[in-house]
Amino acid sequence: MINEGRLVKLFKDLCLIDAPSLQEANSVAFVRKHLEGMGLEVSEDNASEQIGGNANNLIAWLRGNKSDAPRIFLSAHFDTVEPTAGLVIGDRDGAFFSDSDTILGADDKGGMAPAIEAIQALIETDEPHGDVCLLFSVSEEIGLLGAAALKIEDLGLDFGYVLDTGPPVGSFVNKTATHDKLDIKIIGKPAHSGKDPEKGINAIQVAAAAINGMCLGRIGPETTANLGIIEGGTATNVVCPFVKIKAEARSTSIPELDKQVDHMIARFEAAAREWHTEVEIQHKRHYVSYEVSPESDVVQIAQRASRTLGFDPILRTTLGGSDANIYNQKGVPCIVVATGMDMIHTHDEFISRKDLIDTARLAYQLIIEAAKSQSP
């Protein structure tokens, strides 16, 4: 059924194509040619025009041989969180690592390769199945931009599975957080730091006053907040005239999130008043949480598939986002499927050969189990 050698080769081939966000064209071209060679109906949308990248989302169909089966999708994303040019893939202790000064890129080639292999195995076995769509998005890592541009609501899909989180394989994410972003600019007043510093207002001191006492880190069981980037100033002999801060907050509870964001904004505004200066704050709701019922078809089918393969089909909550946040928001139910990618977004990222294979087995079984149910 699952061709392990073919799967591993595809995974490595995908990882070796440099595909940072907004620059996925080579990877998209490779995958498109591969899927067309499998006999799938392949098309692209116009995401590149909307997001300013060089590549579009890829949409590929395997038409079903069972007319009353649900129309489902398997999804993954092309882009990596940073470039992988010069990647050397190491293979030791039953796992794949980066043996170079780059990430591996198992996020999300560890989801994409198993999804493709599952379709190839389905073609070869010809088991009963409904229409299956592969949705491979671009620029997921910088704000789910490809998914936001994709008109998934026009594809006539019943539900689907996004292969894009870490182990244990066989588990699923059915609940995630809402994610807000804050861009803050504190306006100071420049002055010569040696001649007349008292004529200036140091924006760094204003920022310090705001941050002192601000609730950050783990706010509650399912609420977090962070100041991630701070920059400013022009020279050491100039009283700092501005500071820019990029911040975020996440929570599965929108009231809790709103409370945290209001707190952060209030701290910056209070500090600006104290120092008789101004602060500019841009607040954006980055993506909205979802919670898919354990009793829903998409979850029940997933758990049956997992049990069939001997996995533990636990349901998980995460504060991380994925394309599933966008697809659920657009009205197409989906959950996130765990893959073997681990230590993601670091140069220690790895994926075990066993987990890679098991993810492909699970992706195949998801299609088989879905075909046993009636289309909604």
Query: What number of helices (H) and strands (E) belong to the chain?
Result: 10, 16
- Give me the half-sphere count of Cα atoms (radius 13 Å) on the Cβ side of residue 124: 11
DSSP 321-375: --HHHHHHHTT--EEEEE-S-BSTTSTT-EEEHHHHHHHHHHHHHHHHHHHTSPP
Token pair of 340 as six digits? 């073997």
| Peptide bond connecting 168 to the previous residue in cis, omega within 30 degrees of 0 | yes
Handedness of CA 260, 264, 265, 270 (dihedral sign): positive
d(CA 69, CA 74): 15
Rounded distance, CA 173 to CA 111, Å? 14
183 is catalytic: no
Tokens of 90: 């190491």
Q: Which of 79, 108, 131, 164 is catalytic?
A: 79
Reply yes or no on whether 126 is catalytic.
no
Check if the beta carbon of residue 166 is closer than 8 Å to that of residue 348.
no
Of 168, 177, 164, 170, which Cα lies nearest the Cα of 318? 177
Identified catalytic residue from 107, 117, 140, 256 = 140
Determine how β-strand 159-165 pairs with β-strand 334-338: parallel
Beta bridge partners of 335: 161
Amino acid type, 221: P
State the catalytic residues: 79, 140
